[in-house]
């Protein structure tokens, strides 16, 4: 049995760039017409995509959305030289509500003008304009030029599309899909390795060692590779400062998180933060506590004490649950935890309906996993995103990503309490190797503000705004050296919060 074709998805909430929809000089883009059918058949035969009987053509045309057949015409000769179709074509068990971009072909005599890209972009744009929610295409491993075109246009590999929901006979083929994609991307050198300044070193004979870390095949469900998180947003005043700085500096924000805990905010303060973040389509994540670091126990004060972020005793666990229930009742969509037992308990309550099914559980850096087994375990316990240590090498991050699709949270700049690392120039590789990833911008050389309060108001507000400026610095480096058109590593749309399908989780009994 031949291998199924490779699958690619169009990122949700996006439209092809205007330049991708502009026909090159000497060519015209327009919808296909009945009079074009003979030329269409001739082109498809030329590129070995079939002879197209009347029955075959009628079947495909019945699935094409209005205005979905797009063709490129060579203006001086009137010849049809490229074609692409936007189809209403659900794929049961894979894309049940799918619309497909298919039957892309371009005349080999007109190669080099970007005509395949043009008709692919036009068919994709038509589906976007019609409100299609799932847009996909299928292609073959050996069509490397076409694959490069689709990747540069913005389509993303979907290596796990057939991982579960396929007929039993195709299950093995679905399991082989990630390896096939890895081989294709290696041949295409995609996404490219970006080390800012490395090209100058090569000019003076200082070349990099051979071999690059594998690129992550995982993405957020919207197709994005990265999102932005601003941590230590400790109350309404800090959130106002973050939003103001984001507007001034043009920083996109997907999530803000708080570290002092639900218990350090009044109901009115939480309600205000929920309203502000909801209005801006930003996910609000509050810490649940109390924690051992603020408790009466002596262990965390000892030289070897590492219990600070954990929860002491059954009563402490109960208090965390009470905090979670209170936060959820006030509309908080995401909770931050630093204890595996708390994580497990909250996930059990989520599956039982005590907590909303859509509430997300984020594992704190205070319980950060540093090896693949621990990383996978947290996803199995119920974590939707996991903050890993900021001192992990790119190789170690690739090892984590190899075992689980769970989103990684990563301090690009870490506060002094967790190392004070500043890794702005690693951003491009962090995204390439560890996607899907939340890029977090903490603040080195800043006072510890936990637990926060009015007595620290100046430091809380000023440091919150500075974290946004740090994000601007990091994103500028990403834009300057590794822009999306070069790497295909796109940002999730603002408001996106859906997470990758979790690894198989433990029972909730």
Is the pLDDT confidence value at 131 over 70? yes
Has residue 139 been placed in a domain?
A: yes
Do both 252 and 319 map to the same domain? yes
Do both 479 and 337 map to the same domain? yes
pLDDT in tens, 105-129: 999 999 999 999 999 999 999 999 9
Is the pLDDT confidence value at 73 over 60? yes
Is the pLDDT confidence value at 285 over 80? yes
Has residue 495 been placed in a domain?
A: no
Residue 68 · residue 123 · CB < 8 Å: yes
Q: Tell me which residue of 126, 152, 148 sits closest to 139, measured CA to CA.
A: 148
Residue 105 pairs in a beta bridge with 83
Residue that has been written with the tokens 């993303």 in this structure: 156
Q: How many domains does the chain have?
A: 2
Share of the chain above pLDDT 70, in %: 94
Report the alpha-carbon angle 223-225-228, nearest 5: 120
| Burial class, 456, CB count within 10 angstroms (exposed 0-12 / middle 13-18 / buried 19+) | middle
Has residue 500 been placed in a domain?
A: no
Has residue 195 been placed in a domain?
A: no
pLDDT in tens, 176-217: 899 999 999 999 999 999 889 988 988 999 887 767 899 999
Has residue 196 been placed in a domain?
A: no
Do both 259 and 372 map to the same domain? yes
What pLDDT does 368 receive? 86
Q: Give the pLDDT band of residue 394 (cuts 50, 70, 90).
A: very high
Share of the chain above pLDDT 90, in %: 80
Do both 163 and 239 map to the same domain? no
Give me the chain's average pLDDT, please: 92
**How far does Cα 321 stand from its chain's mean position?**
29
Do both 441 and 375 map to the same domain? yes
What pLDDT does 502 receive? 87
Q: Which domain-ending residue is among 188, 206, 237?
A: 188
Stretch (H or E) spanning 64: strand 64-74
How much is the average pLDDT of 237-245?
Answer: 98
Do both 280 and 157 map to the same domain? no
Q: Find the CATH number of the domain harbouring 443.
A: 3.20.20.70
Report the alpha-carbon angle 374-184-156, nearest 5: 70
Do both 456 and 335 map to the same domain? yes
What pLDDT does 343 receive? 96
What pLDDT does 206 receive? 86
Q: Which domain-ending residue is among 132, 164, 188?
A: 188
Do both 236 and 177 map to the same domain? no
Do both 172 and 247 map to the same domain? no
Has residue 383 been placed in a domain?
A: yes
Has residue 210 been placed in a domain?
A: no
Half-sphere exposure of 367 (CA within 13 A, CB side): 24
What pLDDT does 93 receive? 82
Question: Domain range for residue 329?
Answer: 226-294+308-487
Do both 255 and 112 map to the same domain? no
What pLDDT does 304 receive? 47
Q: Which domain-ending residue is among 130, 162, 188?
A: 188
Q: Tell me which residue of 472, 411, 415 sits closest to 441, measured CA to CA.
A: 411
What pLDDT does 503 receive? 85
Has residue 242 been placed in a domain?
A: yes
Do both 241 and 325 map to the same domain? yes
Do both 148 and 275 map to the same domain? no
What pLDDT does 308 receive? 62
pLDDT in tens, 370-391: 999 999 999 999 999 999 999 9
What pLDDT does 486 receive? 92
Q: In angstroms, rounded to a whole number, what is the distance separating the alpha carbons of residues 23 and 181?
A: 30
Q: Tell me which residue of 8, 15, 287, 253 sits closest to 130, measured CA to CA.
A: 15
Give CA separation, 412 vs 220, 425, 472, in Å.
19, 9, 12
């Amino acid at each position: 049995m031949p291998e199924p074709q490779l699958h690619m998805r169009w990122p949700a909430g996006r439209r092809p760039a205007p330049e991708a929809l502009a026909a090159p000089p000497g060519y015209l883009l327009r919808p296909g017409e009945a009079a074009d059918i003979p030329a269409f058949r001739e082109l498809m035969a030329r590129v070995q995509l079939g002879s197209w009987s009347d029955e075959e053509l009628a079947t495909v045309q019945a699935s094409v959305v209005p205005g979905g057949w797009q063709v490129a015409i060579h203006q001086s000769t009137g010849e049809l030289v490229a074609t692409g179709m936007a189809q209403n074509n659900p794929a049961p068990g894979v894309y049940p509500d799918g619309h497909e971009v298919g039957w892309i072909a371009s005349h080999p005599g007109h190669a080099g003008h970007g005509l395949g890209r043009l008709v692919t972009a036009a068919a994709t744009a038509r589906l976007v304009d019609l409100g299609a929610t799932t847009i996909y295409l299928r292609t073959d491993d050996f069509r490397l030029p076409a694959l490069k075109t689709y990747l540069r246009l913005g389509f993303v590999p979907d290596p796990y599309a057939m991982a579960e929901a396929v007929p039993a006979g195709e299950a093995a083929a679905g399991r082989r899909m990630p390896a096939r994609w890895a081989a294709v991307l290696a041949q295409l050198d995609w996404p490219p390795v970006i080390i800012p300044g490395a090209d100058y070193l090569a000019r003076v004979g200082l070349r990099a060692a051979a071999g690059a870390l594998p690129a992550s095949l995982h993405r957020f469900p919207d197709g994005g590779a990265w999102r932005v998180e601003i941590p230590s947003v400790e109350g309404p005043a800090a959130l106002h400062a973050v939003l103001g700085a984001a507007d001034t500096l043009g920083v996109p924000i997907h999530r803000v998180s708080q570290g002092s805990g639900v218990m350090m905010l009044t109901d009115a303060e939480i309600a205000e933060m929920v309203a502000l973040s909801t209005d801006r389509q930003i996910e609000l994540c509050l810490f649940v506590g109390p924690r051992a670091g603020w408790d009466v126990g002596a262990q965390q004060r000892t030289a070897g004490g590492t219990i600070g972020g954990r929860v002491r005793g059954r009563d402490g666990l109960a208090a965390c649950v009470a905090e979670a229930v209170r936060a959820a009742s006030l509309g908080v969509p995401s909770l931050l935890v630093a204890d595996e037992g708390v994580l497990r308990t909250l996930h059990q309550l989520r599956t039982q309906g005590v907590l909303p099914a859509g509430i997300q559980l984020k594992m704190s850096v205070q319980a950060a996993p540093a090896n693949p087994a621990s990383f996978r375990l947290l996803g199995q316990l119920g974590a939707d995103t996991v903050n890993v240590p900021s001192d992990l090498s790119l190789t170690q991050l690739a090892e984590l990503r190899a075992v689980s699709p769970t989103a990684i949270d990563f301090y690009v700049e870490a506060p002094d309490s967790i190392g004070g690392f500043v890794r702005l120039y690693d951003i491009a590789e962090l995204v390439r190797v560890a996607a899907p990833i939340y890029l977090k911008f903490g603040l080195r050389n800043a006072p510890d503000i936990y637990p926060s309060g009015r007595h620290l108001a100046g430091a809380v507000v000023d440091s919150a705004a500075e974290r946004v400026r740090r994000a601007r610095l990091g994103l500028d480096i990403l834009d300057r050296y590794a822009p999306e058109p070069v790497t295909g590593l796109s940002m999730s749309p603002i408001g996106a919060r859906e997470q990758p399908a979790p690894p198989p989780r433990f029972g909730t009994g």
